[in-house]
Amino acid sequence: MRAAEDAQRRQRLSAARTDERHARRELEAAERAVQHAQERAEAAEAHAKEANERARTTAERLTQAKRAQAAARKAHTRAEGALAKAEDASS
C-alpha cells in the first residue's frame, strides 16, 4: 500500500511540474505579446507624430500659397488698372 501511495504522489508531483512548465510557457508567451504590442504602439506613435508634422508643414505651405495668390491677384488688378489708364491716356 505504501508503494501505491508513493506512486500516486510521484504522479501528482510530475503532473504539477508539467502544469508549472505549461504555465511558465504561457506567461512567457504573454510577456512577449505584451512587449510586441508595446513596440508596435511606440512605432505607431512615432508615425503619428511624423504625419502630424507633415500635416502642419502642408498647412503652412497652403497658407503661404493662398497669401501669394492673393498678392498676385492684387498685382494683376493693379496692372490691369494701370494698363487701362495708359490706354485711356494714349487715346
pLDDT tens profile 30-56: 999 999 999 999 999 999 999 999 999
pLDDT at residue 26, as a whole number = 98
* Residue tagged 512587449 (cell numbers): 35
pTM of this prediction exceeds 0.85: no
C-alpha span between 9 and 49 (Å, rounded): 59
20 DSSP 8-state letter: H
Res. 65 pLDDT band, cuts 50 70 90: very high
CA torsion 34→38→40→41, rounded to 10°? 130
- Kindly provide the residue ranges of all beta strands, DSSP E only, lying in the chain, ordered along the sequence: none
pLDDT at residue 37, as a whole number = 98
Residue 91 has pLDDT above 90, yes or no: no
